[in-house]
Amino acid sequence: MPPPTPPRLLAVLSAVLVLVAALVVHALPARADAGFRVEDGRLVDAAGNDFVIRGVSHAHTWYPQEAGSLADIKSLGANAVRVVLSSGDRWTENDAGDVADVVDRCVANRLICVLEVHDTTGYGEQAGAATLDQAVDYWLRVRDAVEGREEHVLVNIGNEPFGNDEAANEHWAGDTSRAIDRLRDAGFDHTLVVDAPNWGQDWRGTMRREAQGVFDSDPHANTVFSVHMYGVYEQESTVVDYMESFVDAGLPLIVGEFGHDHSDGDPDEAAVMEHAQRLGLGYVGWSWSGNSGGVEYLDMVEDFDATRLTPWGERIFHGPDGIAETAVEAPVYGGGGGPTDPPTDGPTGPPADADCTAAYAVVREWQGGFQAEVAVTAGADLDGWTVRWSLPAGEGIAQVWNAAVSTSGSRVTAVDAGYNAVLPEGATTAFGFTGTRQGPAEVPGLACDAGS
């Protein structure tokens, strides 16, 4: 047993320890308490309000003179912009000063900045493509431009960081986890966005299989997965299957790129937008303007002129489930998350002498979601029934049981599941679902009809 330490020496040691602790706290940036985070598979802000990305990509690194595009993108209703940057490995590097200016412009235009390094595109297949390690090196060089901006910036580590080379793609999970670790070790507290392999389309299912392990490797549990939906997603069923696999697993997903056409096939952009809205998932269309090399049809506006929308621009901004119809401004700018009118007391529905009536009840609510039940009562003998309603603003439907549910924009149609179609007069059956919400869950008005 060592001899006791003299009291004066104890006082000196205590003072030294306090000073060292203060220096350490100052040297290590604290985890941002105002930034975005992932909660229960959803992207939320510091207060727990859902934020569903509705935006487009802008090729800043190739068109730095078009910085006014951010204001134009906002003017058409977007709540986010995915900004193309270069690490200098393939194109001219966007330095810290340039990145800081981009972020300032995003904030000035009340947009969330999703910053991405494009040089990684197609690594393993595309000659000259940068590695995720090189992308991280770049993020460390521009760290000062984004530090403390966690409430305005998401860091998309590298665009489409693997092509279709199978041997290279085997390293997707390990390389992605290491990139996350390096950024966290360097003090990046931002929500990180990671792209799928196979040029972002994940047609071999690598990200789908290994996403949980990658998510678990993030010490902040704050990583969002991004799939790019082009020709691989020609069928609505393919779109739905991929999206729902992440929702069912409780993992955060956005459609980080998609278009209305592509050289590798004809993506079902209507399905992408409809089911992203239904499931409460973010989407980012490619791209504002300046496409070349045979994909000019992906321009949303001609020559960066917001008054000259192309057919693709009209579709994504003003079409069903489009940006103008579905975007909610980020809570940090005062949008979303605020109080809404409380649910009405008791169910609503058609008169009791109808063929059937439907009563809607909110069973429970949690941050960003809720569970509802709809009771269907036969006013006469039924052989099939259909219930219709309109989704309140900010709500979406996730999992459903005891009915077949489809949506078109905000319109919802629920049809009996077959085994519960036949109801004698006065009998009741019920179906239920979980949904997403941005405010308190509301009780909508319902219409119930005989037949399915």
Active-site residues: which are they? 160, 257
Q: Which segments of 345-392 are extended strands (E)?
A: 356-366, 369-378, 382-383, 385-390
Q: How many other CB atoms are found less than 10 A from the CB of residue 10? A: 11
What CA–CA distance (Å, rounded) separates 416 from 430? 9
Q: How far apart are CA 183 and CA 32, in angstroms?
A: 14
Measured between alpha carbons, how far apart are the two ends of the chain, in Å?
Answer: 84
Task: For residue 412, give the DSSP letter.
Answer: E
Write out the H or E segment, with its range, that includes residue 439.
none
- Provide the phi-psi class of 122: left if phi over 0, else alpha when psi is between -120 and 50, else beta: left
Bridge partners for 413 per DSSP:
388, 406
CB atoms within 10 A of CB 88: 18
Q: Which two tokens stand for residue 322?
A: 């489009």
Contact predicate 226/194, CB 8 Å: yes
Q: What angle do CA 251, 312, 398 make, to 5 degrees?
A: 25
Q: How many CB atoms lie within 10 A of CB 374?
A: 22
Residue in 298, 278, 279 with CA at minimum distance from that of residue 288: 298
Report the C-alpha gap between 279 and 361 in whole angstroms.
20
**Which has the closest alpha carbon to 317: 42, 297, 308?**
308
Torsion of CA 335, 43, 148, 211, to 10 degrees: -160
Distance CA 235, CA 199 (A): 19
Handedness of CA 379, 384, 388, 391 (dihedral sign): positive
- SS3 letters across 353-364: CCCEEEEEEEEE
Q: Is 302 helix (H, G, I), strand (E, B) or coil?
A: helix
Whole-number Å distance between alpha carbons of 144 and 129: 25
Beta-carbon contacts of 159 under 8 Å, excluding residues fewer than 6 positions away, are 84, 116, 117, 118, 119, 120, 121, 195, 200
